[in-house]
Amino acid sequence: MAIKIFYQPNCPKCPKAKILGKKLEELGYKVEYINAAEKPEEAARFLLMATPSIVIEEEGKAKKIWSGFTPPIEEVKQYL
């Protein structure tokens, strides 16, 4: 299982998603931060059209995606 946070440098909503990622890391989860502008093919793989986007990936497929906002940590943990 992988947690991927897609962001863009000038995105005003993305810092909140990065804070969520740091909290998940503190709980022992591995989080991958992906600059969607630098890796558009990775964002396209999940059909992402907005940042921030948080993807829970399992066995190469998206188990859950939140796009354009940062969900509460409790909601994310339900899918981990």
The 10s digit of each residue's pLDDT in 10-52 is: 999 999 999 999 999 999 999 999 999 999 999 999 999 999 9
Query: What homologous superfamily is domain 2-59 in, according to CATH?
Result: Glutaredoxin (3.40.30.10)
> Per residue in 48-79, pLDDT tens?
999 999 999 999 999 999 999 999 999 999 99
Q: How many CB atoms lie within 10 A of CB 50?
A: 15
Q: Please, are residues 31 and 21 in contact by the beta-carbon 8 Å criterion? A: yes
Could you tell me if 52 and 70 are in contact, meaning their C-beta atoms sit under 8 angstroms apart?
A: yes
C-alpha 36, offset from chain centre: 11
pTM metric for this prediction? 0.94
pLDDT in the model for residue 2: 96
pLDDT at 52: 98
| CA 68 to chain CA centroid, nearest Å | 10
pLDDT at position 48 is 96
